[in-house]
Amino acid sequence: MPRKICVVVASRANYARVKTLLKAIQEHPELELQVVAGASLVLERFGNAVDVMSMDGFEPDATIRFIIEGETPVTMAKSTGLALLELPTVFELLKPDVVVTVADRFETIATAIAAAYMNIPVAHTQGGEVSGSIDESVRHAVTKLAHLHFPATELSAQRVISMGEDPATVFNLGCPSIDLVAATDLGLRQDTLSHFGGAGAEIDPGRPFVLMMQHPVTTEYGQGLDQINATIRALTAIGLQALVFWPNVDAGSEQVAKGLRLFRETGESGGCHFFRNLPPEIFVKLMAHCACMVGNSSAALREGAYLGTPAVTVGTRQRNRERAANVVDAGHDAKAIAAAIQGQIEHGRYERSTLFGDGRAGERIAETLAVERPSIQKKLHPGSLAVELAPF
Amino acid sequence: MPRKICVVVASRANYARVKTLLKAIQEHPELELQVVAGASLVLERFGNAVDVMSMDGFEPDATIRFIIEGETPVTMAKSTGLALLELPTVFELLKPDVVVTVADRFETIATAIAAAYMNIPVAHTQGGEVSGSIDESVRHAVTKLAHLHFPATELSAQRVISMGEDPATVFNLGCPSIDLVAATDLGLRQDTLSHFGGAGAEIDPGRPFVLMMQHPVTTEYGQGLDQINATIRALTAIGLQALVFWPNVDAGSEQVAKGLRLFRETGESGGCHFFRNLPPEIFVKLMAHCACMVGNSSAALREGAYLGTPAVTVGTRQRNRERAANVVDAGHDAKAIAAAIQGQIEHGRYERSTLFGDGRAGERIAETLAVERPSIQKKLHPGSLAVELAPF
Amino acid sequence: MPRKICVVVASRANYARVKTLLKAIQEHPELELQVVAGASLVLERFGNAVDVMSMDGFEPDATIRFIIEGETPVTMAKSTGLALLELPTVFELLKPDVVVTVADRFETIATAIAAAYMNIPVAHTQGGEVSGSIDESVRHAVTKLAHLHFPATELSAQRVISMGEDPATVFNLGCPSIDLVAATDLGLRQDTLSHFGGAGAEIDPGRPFVLMMQHPVTTEYGQGLDQINATIRALTAIGLQALVFWPNVDAGSEQVAKGLRLFRETGESGGCHFFRNLPPEIFVKLMAHCACMVGNSSAALREGAYLGTPAVTVGTRQRNRERAANVVDAGHDAKAIAAAIQGQIEHGRYERSTLFGDGRAGERIAETLAVERPSIQKKLHPGSLAVELAPF
Amino acid sequence: MPRKICVVVASRANYARVKTLLKAIQEHPELELQVVAGASLVLERFGNAVDVMSMDGFEPDATIRFIIEGETPVTMAKSTGLALLELPTVFELLKPDVVVTVADRFETIATAIAAAYMNIPVAHTQGGEVSGSIDESVRHAVTKLAHLHFPATELSAQRVISMGEDPATVFNLGCPSIDLVAATDLGLRQDTLSHFGGAGAEIDPGRPFVLMMQHPVTTEYGQGLDQINATIRALTAIGLQALVFWPNVDAGSEQVAKGLRLFRETGESGGCHFFRNLPPEIFVKLMAHCACMVGNSSAALREGAYLGTPAVTVGTRQRNRERAANVVDAGHDAKAIAAAIQGQIEHGRYERSTLFGDGRAGERIAETLAVERPSIQKKLHPGSLAVELAPF
């Protein structure tokens, strides 16, 4: 009987980061894929990315809705709670042998807790990375709950081990998000975007354009409107056409969305087109062709490294995250952001970096899931820790 | 304005482990104590320990109920979820400056997640210890969410740092549970127990008696009935009078309770008296006078070290936990357990060990809470990790 | 394709009241039975009646746990909320054509709301009855949410219609609980009870015995301990052997349970045997043979009518409920209760009454479920109302 | 000590319907007002109407968020559940003497259930009305849970009594929504709308305009996109400038919103301005001046009666609801809707009708809340029912 591998996919960003893994599990003779769709992935307001996923051949085995509207710190904590009421029901039904949880979001930790309490081994991708926002803490907490680790870089793998994980459970196989980039035809036609709706000005991909995606920073809750406004002013100053994405569902999202809405409604967003969601491959094409990417999405660092996308990362959300040469930092200051964008546009594209993988992570992870049998009872691994510890 | 320190107390065991800290916070001129009572602490079925706490002068500022009945792995995960729906409401209302979360249970991680997402600094006691059960994973995950650490031993403190926490946030000040032991008049009168109800035979504290407290092991769910039965048979074989405690609310609790219930109902429990709950000080007196303690409570290792209580720890629940000389391990085998109990009774009491503290932890922790101002944005501390890591 | 009829069974009492309906649905060629087990039915503490149900051939298609421990008015409301988070998941999965909800409890209204919002027709049994407690309000509220009504008596049917329900949707076919009574071999052997555990004195069914079952009254929350104590004192005064049942999970249950626990622990319950749960047929046998039934269970009125069981109903919980000659009321006064019990014992058994049905309700309801196709859009039925109403 | 009256306000529509009641309670010497803000009232996406309410002097005593995103039948049922987890906490904190619940929505029944289980008397406005959608059932179910009834018309009052409510608890005092209309200065200046944002074309209030507000019909879930598209086509055919409102949060809302979004994004909405929310008084001004109102909002029937607003009501959502002469029905057919709008425009404004009140309901209801003391134990009122019922 094949091992049942249940992957919880909970946002458009999540999906891009496990798509090739889903495929590899689906095709592996000893594995059976179970997909749980949840959170913003299944919301019309966020572009209903679940439809894209289904069309790609990954029909969800279960769909759960656990986003409590409001996007405040309180609703973020409570949405985690609601996810913890929903996920056990799904796991009880699907009886997976392993649950895969992605990255560092509230559904990530809810998935890890639900599975761990139910004695189902947890596999975690993207452990060991550092960043800002609450994601930093959540990512490492999930590492401590996970039984198998698939960090995306060598440094991340070493951090995971250093935190006390057994090296035998840590596998640096690269990030599946890079697989998707590597497999994508990067051509961008004049009409590529016309299929995907959105609102605002039409963008001519033949001319330079900026890609903007900025999320709230939970640990700086209340500053989201100011933060997006600084970036908007920089964008306006640059004067290029731009593709602008709505933010994710983190606490503070409504403030960022409000900034974008006012930008639209007051009519200054003349050269901008607004998207809720795009299929991952289309987003990759845009990253491959944009003059510059701006905001605080980790895509700029991750996929951007492989694509050599000139990027300006604002604020603290990606602070300290490993990156290649393509990223420049800026504070929440319109002038500084505009100057940084200008500099990146002048520099042009960067060399490819394989820091986050070479394009074959999905199949390697699937293969590892097929053979590893971690103990459900975790133990702090004494040999991994820095200090000289008494035997225990 | 004093700093508001909110302590979430969620079980009879929890309470004993923070009681002196509550007192020290209450008496500190720069601190204001907020107490949240929840989980089994507020349930009649578990002895309604909240009444004991209130009589001690710690009236709860909020009482929450989030235990979903059933005590299966599913309800344990879902109770965590329900706690995450309840706690943010309370924190929003009480607006604490710091939240204190104790040890390693599902309410512990729910508290840590709720506070962390709400940008309230989390202080954690008992981090860095190792054990069995899901508690092991949860304890370390909470460490990764916490902003201030109060581990109970030097080794635990070093482990917390080794996991990547900033040493400036880690304080080895001992465990408040030892304070309580140190401050307790250990005298046990003939009528001490008669005030506290319970059921079954009357116990004569003047004659040798066994103290038995055994909880389910979540990672061995389904084996609880067999596990308690082995201990029951050992107890019967020893033939001494015994004080037997009902188990906590972890997954598998109903199975352990069933074993105890059958033990009672079939009439073989002749020399046993059954308690749901006792005030911490009374429990300490019993630990100070019993011929042997048996089961898998961490009290045998922690308070037992200071009291020199001869103890037999069965199964994996306390596996690898730091301990003094007073503890002997046994598997879930009636004969082995009986032999170990016999050996401990013959040995008699052990020397005092201050491994877990010297009796002044509460006031030291309160003082630290009054002065420390941790950053809400956590960062993996590079200097703490074992490997040579690139600067980040 | 057979119509899928989903019955939510949520307590030991519920089960007795739909058992023959489950059977009739299961055997009907055009129907497919779906059983959802929840609430106290699946709790060890309440005797895990789900096992009895499974052994009877009704394996649950889904098991849900939504009782939040505490049994206060707050947890009762919140348990309703938790049921409303769980049931939609189950209905989405099972895709029933009709959902059957029983009587008047919090899971009853949660079931009705979940199905009604999901556009699944709701069939309701026991509508139109009057009683005390919050059950009275909940029962009529469920009537207003239900699409098919199966009241148990002619008077109840008329009340349902009078409340504005379309007479074409109201079917007075009797109560399935009477079917079960009618089909039960009423013989009670010396050893019948010995298979079912419980605790306390052994009962000799050859000698007169009392059957006691008393639940909390939610609208009189806080008086439960006094109320049970009055009945206990009456029982003690009578001096007969007695079978005593633990209360249900309504708000105040812990107070009633506490009264019973003290009764046991103080040793005055000498002639009593305590049960958590019995199979419905065994309970019926006991009702057929007891000298008197005392408490506030509706079984005394319902099954008692058919069996002619002499019964004393205390307090307001059954106030105003339709009844046959076998029931005498008493207030919460030990002397009055004792006198009433004495009177009933002297009177002896009553004539059979078919007020609540003649024993064929289950099959008639199943047949009706197979043929009726109610509109999902309900409308207040103008012809049913008392006043002369403008056409609408 | 004043009686604490807690009003749960959960949407922009809700607020308009209790605003004068809030004022009257606030000003009553024997009453103390408590306001709970929840659901769409507190969501940015729905215009954050809570800010309007706060500026009017009704600062919420508690704010709760319980909308689970998705707006499917499943999330609607689950949001009811989440409300039932949140409201008891609030009621436990605020300890109201009476809870007021408005109309017929899922938060309405959650409020009624929470209060009823907690033995807090429930006062209900707008009982006894008939309509389509699940609201019809919910409204009557809430009547059966409520202790005091404030229906808006004489016919509604008679229906409430006919359903078995005690006439002594039913008060026909009119609808507070009419008070607000009666007190509003109906003048509409050229710049009135310019303060309220929104998106799309600027509307000239000096020229004829249409007011469009269409919500999903839960019992016709899945047809929302077609239904809105029919109305959109009618609007386009009429060719007048129009003010278009986004739908409420009922199941199917995303489909209706999608229709509006496509309408905007495809650029055919040239003469339309889109609003999320407006203060009630501004909406009233618009109703007083529009050439025609179209959609399925009950405002067309209720406030529209008093204002004489020509209105076209589409589909079943208001089917059978009491109305004055100003309303014409149409099916979901673009031509029929357009013809009906054309007819209404030609007719022009209607005579005032005081069917739903004369403008003094708020103060009368407040006065009644100050003096009535309903029994918490409800009883079906025998004298109210149509049939000759045995005394009980």
Q: Which of B163, B168, B247, B195 is nearest to B55 (CA)?
A: B195
Residue of chain D minimizing CA distance to C376: D219
What's residue B387's pLDDT? 57
What would the mean pLDDT of B331-359 be, rounded to a whole number? 97
User: Residue with structure tokens 């720890």?
Assistant: B313
Tens digits of residue pLDDT in B1-32: 899 999 999 987 889 999 999 999 999 999 99
Encoding tokens for residue B351?
């020397």
What's residue A314's pLDDT? 98
- How do the residues of chain B divide into helix, strand and coil, expressed in percent and rounded to 5? 45, 15, 40
Arithmetic mean of pLDDT over chain D: 93
Encoding tokens for residue D206?
């000096």
Q: Which residues of C touch D136 (CB under 8 A)?
A: 377-380
Low-confidence winner among A93-102, B271-280, C294-303 (lowest mean pLDDT) = B271-280
What single letter denotes the amino acid at residue C168?
Answer: A
Encoding tokens for residue D242?
């129009």
Tens digits of residue pLDDT in B201-244: 889 999 999 999 999 999 999 999 999 999 999 999 999 999 99
Q: Which helix (H) or strand (E) holds C197?
A: none
Encoding tokens for residue C17?
């009241």
Q: Does D93 touch chain B (CB under 8 A)?
A: yes
Q: Is the pLDDT of residue B138 over 70?
A: yes
What's residue B392's pLDDT? 38
What is the end-to-end Cα distance of chain C in Å, rounded?
37
Give the separation between CA B127 and CA B123, rounded to whole angstroms.
Answer: 10
Q: Which residues of D touch C163 (CB under 8 A)?
A: 144, 162-164, 385
Q: Does A84 touch chain B (CB under 8 A)?
A: yes
Half-sphere exposure of D3 (CA within 13 A, CB side): 20
CA B122 to chain CA centroid, nearest Å: 18
Tens digits of residue pLDDT in D141-186: 999 999 999 999 999 999 999 999 999 999 999 999 999 999 999 9
Q: Which residues of A touch C85 (CB under 8 A)?
A: 82, 85-86
Give the separation between CA B251 and CA B255, rounded to whole angstroms.
Answer: 9
Q: Which helix (H) or strand (E) holds B245?
A: strand B241-245
Give the separation between CA B5 and CA B366, rounded to whole angstroms.
Answer: 9
Q: Which of D360, D189, D366, D198 is nearest to D281 (CA)?
A: D189
- Residue A254: pLDDT band with limits 50, 70, 90: confident
Q: Which helix (H) or strand (E) holds D213?
A: strand D209-213
Give the separation between CA B44 and CA B42, rounded to whole angstroms.
Answer: 7
- C48 vs B89 pLDDT, higher one: B89
What's residue D198's pLDDT? 80
| Residue in A118, A320, A379 closest to B320 by CB | A379
Return phi, psi of residue A192, to 5°: -55, -45
What would the mean pLDDT of A1-20 be, rounded to a whole number? 92
Tens digits of residue pLDDT in A208-245: 999 999 999 999 999 999 999 999 999 999 999 999 99
Q: Which helix (H) or strand (E) holds B313?
A: strand B311-314
C-alpha distance from A36 to closest chain C C-alpha (Å): 14
Residues 131 through 160 of chain B touching chain A, CB cutoff 8 Å: 132-134, 136-138, 140-145, 155, 158-159
CA separation, residue B15 to residues B34, B59, B125, C137 (Å): 14, 13, 12, 40
Whether residues B84 and A89 touch (CB distance < 8 A) is answered with no
What's residue A244's pLDDT? 96
Residue of chain D minimizing CA distance to B61: D93
DSSP state of D67: P
DSSP state of D358: -
Encoding tokens for residue C69?
């421990």
What's residue A190's pLDDT? 84
What ranges make up the beta strands (E) of chain A?
Answer: 3-9, 31-38, 62-64, 98-102, 122-125, 148-150, 199-200, 209-213, 241-245, 272-275, 292-295, 311-314, 327-330
Give the separation between CA B212 and CA B296, rounded to whole angstroms.
Answer: 9
DSSP state of D258: H
Q: Does C390 touch chain D (CB under 8 A)?
A: yes
CA C241 to chain CA centroid, nearest Å: 25
CB C80 within 8 A of CB C87: no
Among C131-145, D48-62, D374-388, the range of highest mean pLDDT:
C131-145
Q: Is the pLDDT of residue A390 over 70?
A: no
CB A8 within 8 A of CB A115: no
Tens digits of residue pLDDT in D293-334: 999 999 999 999 999 999 999 999 999 999 999 999 999 999
What's residue C391's pLDDT? 38
What's residue D387's pLDDT? 57
ipTM of the complex: 0.94
Give the separation between CA A167 and CA A161, rounded to whole angstroms.
Answer: 6
DSSP string, B352-376: P--TT--S-HHHHHHHHHHH----S
Render each residue's pLDDT in chain C as its tens digit; 392 residues.
899 999 999 987 889 999 999 999 999 999 999 999 988 888 877 777 888 899 999 999 999 999 998 889 999 999 999 999 999 999 999 999 999 999 999 999 999 999 999 999 999 999 999 999 999 999 999 999 999 999 999 999 999 999 999 999 999 999 999 999 999 999 998 888 887 878 888 899 999 999 999 999 999 999 999 999 999 999 999 999 999 999 988 899 989 999 998 998 777 888 999 988 888 899 999 999 999 999 999 999 999 999 999 999 999 999 999 999 999 999 999 999 999 999 999 999 999 999 999 999 999 999 999 999 999 999 999 877 765 444 33
DSSP string, D281-346: HHHHHHHHH-SEEEES-GGGTHHHHHHT--EEEESSTTTT----TTEEEE-S-HHHHHHHHHHHHH
| Residue in D44, D71, D75 closest to A254 by CB | D44
Give the separation between CA D36 and CA A183, rounded to whole angstroms.
Answer: 53
CA separation, residue C239 to residues A133, C217, C272 (Å): 70, 26, 10
What would the mean pLDDT of B257-280 be, rounded to a whole number? 87
Tens digits of residue pLDDT in C228-278: 999 999 999 999 999 999 998 889 998 999 999 899 877 788 899 998 888
CA B362 to chain CA centroid, nearest Å: 16
Tens digits of residue pLDDT in A290-339: 999 999 999 999 999 999 999 999 999 999 999 999 999 999 999 999 99
Whether residues B43 and C70 touch (CB distance < 8 A) is answered with yes
What single letter denotes the amino acid at residue A199?
Answer: A
CB B107 within 8 A of CB B295: no
Among A67-76, A266-275, B154-163, D48-57, the range of highest mean pLDDT:
B154-163
- Residue A391: pLDDT band with limits 50, 70, 90: very low
Q: Is B315 helix (H, G, I), strand (E, B) or coil?
A: coil
What's residue B386's pLDDT? 66
- Residue D190: pLDDT band with limits 50, 70, 90: confident
Give the separation between CA D36 and CA D58, rounded to whole angstroms.
Answer: 10
CA A59 to chain CA centroid, nearest Å: 20
Whether residues C140 and D390 touch (CB distance < 8 A) is answered with no
Q: Does D197 touch chain A (CB under 8 A)?
A: yes
CB C228 within 8 A of CB C261: no
Give the separation between CA D114 and CA A328, rounded to whole angstroms.
Answer: 54
CB C67 within 8 A of CB C30: no
Arithmetic mean of pLDDT over chain A: 93
- Residue D267: pLDDT band with limits 50, 70, 90: confident
Which of D63, D79, D85 to mutate to test binding with chain B, by most B CBs within 10 Å of its CB? D85
Q: Does C42 touch chain B (CB under 8 A)?
A: yes
Q: Is A153 helix (H, G, I), strand (E, B) or coil?
A: coil
Q: Does C86 touch chain A (CB under 8 A)?
A: yes
Encoding tokens for residue D45?
């996406």
Q: Is C326 helix (H, G, I), strand (E, B) or coil?
A: coil
CB C86 within 8 A of CB C57: no
- D382 vs B20 pLDDT, higher one: B20
